[in-house]
Amino acid sequence: MALAHNFSYARPQSITEALELLKTHRETAKILAGGTDLIVNIKEGMSAPQLLIDIKDIKQLNNICQEAGFIQIGAGVTFTQLLEDPLIKQHFIILHDAAATVASTGIRNRATLAGNICTAVPSLDSAPALLCYNAILHCASATETREIPIEEWFLAPRKTALQPDEILTHIRLPIPAQKSSGIYVKLGRYNGEDLAQAGWGIFLSENNQYRIAHCALAPVPKRARRIETALNGKELSAHIIDEVIALIDSEICPITDIRSSKEYRLHISKVMVKRGLHAAIERFKGNKVEPKAILGGFA
């Protein structure tokens, strides 16, 4: 497989150590967690770091824990860990759904949630869930820490608010105060591993409060505020759904690429949102819904 480009490798044992390295090397260093994006990028010449900082030994980063009304997901937490964690399944079902759709088991056993949102491709599956749950991203540098709300994270395709001397250390999700449910609906070209051609996260809580977000349908993942306004506080009806569907054209701006056409993405989004809303309500009622079945896939 041979990487032509060579680099140095460091395996800090603490966050402080890692940040010191980053302070010295800045853009010439890259954080290595799962490596499932980074190694490919180095191989294909898209990235040529001088130093890789492997954070997998930093114990504080490898946990999911609950703390004062928040779930905290460390930067080293893999998608498999997310999938197997009962807290995530209980409180953040949309994130659980999304984790199940990322690539394959072999990738999920290594790829991290933090890495996923740092790579920030427009089709990343975790974004709609994080947007629906108002995630807060904790970044640290050698000199300071800051909290970035998820809505300010994605700046452009493959570009985030993270500074060159910063590490995304953990992602905190406020546990929804009221009863809630939701679903992540993903369109892939086939069952099995695929990038999202379109992805919709639907969050529903008491009194018909909705948060809707999408990925792969705009330069960056976003909340669909207009749709939320049309839905909030109202009992879902055929009439409301029609209103919602009519808004989709103005909420998203898909493109045509090798995976799908603009027209198809617009069309299928309407199907996904309509069915997703019904599915979220079913789940809210306590009924089981298999996300794969929503678009007619067979489990």
Partner 1 sequence: MKEICFNLNFELRHLMVEPNEILLDVLRDKLGVKSPKCGCERGDCGACTVLLDGKAVRSCLILAVEADKRDIITVEGISQEKLSTLQNAFIEYNSFQCGYCAPGIILAVTELLEKNPHPNLAEIKECIAGHLCRCTGYTSIFDAIMAVSKGEK
Partner 2 sequence: MKEYKYIGKSVTRIDALEKISGAAIYGDDIDFGANLLYAELVSSTHAHAIIKSIDTSAAEKIPGVYKVFTGKDFPYKFGLYMKDRFVFAQDKVRFVGEQIAAVVARSPQAAKRGAALVKVEYEPLPAVLDQMEALKSDAVILHPDLGEYPHVPWFFPKEGTNVAHWRKTRKGNPDKGFEQAELILEDTYTVPRYAHCALETHVAIGKLDYSGRLTVWSSSQSPHIQRHLFAEALGKSHKDVRVIAPHVGGGFGGKAGVTMEIIPAVLATKLKGYAVKLRYSREEEFINTYQRLGVVAKIKMGITKQGKIVALDHKLYWDAGAYVEYGANVVNAIGLSAIGPYNIENVSIDSVCVYTNLPPGGAYRGFGYSEMLFGLESHITRAAKQLGIDEVEFRRKNAIKAGDLTAYGAKMNPNGLHEAIDKVADAIKWGEPLVSKDPTKVLGRGFSLFWKAPAMPPNASSSAFLKFNEDASINLIISGMDIGQGYQTVMAQIAAEILSVPPSRIRVETPDTDRNPYEWQTVASHITWSSGNAVKKAALDAKEQILQLVHRVFYYPIDELYLEDEAVKCHTDSTFILPLKDFVVDGIMTEDGTFKGGPINARGMYMPEFSSTKGDPETSQGGHPNCDPTRVGMSLGDITASLFTAIGINAALYHRTSTGMGQKIDVSMLDSQVAILENALVRYQAEGCAPQPLGNRHPTIAPFQAYLASDKFFVVAVGNDNLWQTFCKAIDSNALLTDPRFTTNRLRTDNIEELNRCLSPIFATKSSSEWLRILEVAGIPCAPINNVEEVMNDIQILARNMIVEVEDNLAGSIKIAGNPIKMSSIPESHLRDKVPEIGEHNLEVYSGMLALSKDEILELKKTGVI
Instruction: Output the DSSP codes for 23-71.
Output: HHHGGGEEEESS-TTHHHHHHTTS---SEEEE-TT-GGGG-EEEETTEE
Where does this chain touch partner 1 (CB under 8 A) — which range of 50-58, 179-187, 208-216, 231-239? 50-58
Q: Which does 218 bind (CB under 5 to 8 A by kind): partner 1, partner 2, none?
A: none
- Regarding 35 and contact with partner 1 (CB under 8 A), the answer is yes
212, 251 Cβ separation under 8 angstroms:
no
- Regarding 245 and contact with partner 1 (CB under 8 A), the answer is no
Q: Which does 80 bind (CB under 5 to 8 A by kind): partner 2, partner 1, none?
A: partner 1
DSSP conformation class of 76:
T
Tokens 């054209």 map to which residue? 249
Site for partner 1 in 82-141 (CB under 8 A): 100, 103-107, 109-110
Nearest Cα neighbor of 112 from 83, 146, 155 is: 83
Question: Which one, 86 or 296, has the nearer CB to partner 2?
Answer: 296
- Regarding 6 and contact with partner 2 (CB under 8 A), the answer is yes
- Out of 191, 229, 250, 261, which residue is the one contacting partner 1 (CB under 8 A)? 191
224, 212 Cβ separation under 8 angstroms:
yes
Where does this chain touch partner 2 (CB under 8 A) — which range of 1-9, 12-20, 26-34, 236-244? 1-9
| N residues, the chain | 299
Rounded to whole angstroms, the Cα distance separating 42 from 24 reads 21
- Regarding 298 and contact with partner 2 (CB under 8 A), the answer is no
Question: Which one, 38 or 113, has the nearer CB to partner 2?
Answer: 38
- Regarding 4 and contact with partner 2 (CB under 8 A), the answer is yes
Q: Which does 47 bind (CB under 5 to 8 A by kind): partner 2, partner 1, none?
A: none
Question: Which one, 82 or 213, has the nearer CB to partner 1?
Answer: 82
What region, left, alpha or beta, does residue 216 occupy, with left being phi > 0 and alpha being psi -120 to 50 degrees? left
252, 218 Cβ separation under 8 angstroms:
yes
Rounded to whole angstroms, the Cα distance separating 97 from 76 reads 19
Beta carbons within 8 Å of 234's beta carbon, 6+ residues apart: 208, 240
Rounded to whole angstroms, the Cα distance separating 280 from 290 reads 11
Q: Shortest distance, CB of residue 176 to partner 1, whole angstroms?
A: 28
In the complex, the residues that contact partner 1 under the rule CB under 8 A are: 1-3, 5-9, 11, 32, 35-36, 39-40, 42-43, 52, 54, 56, 80, 100, 103-107, 109-110, 191-193, 299
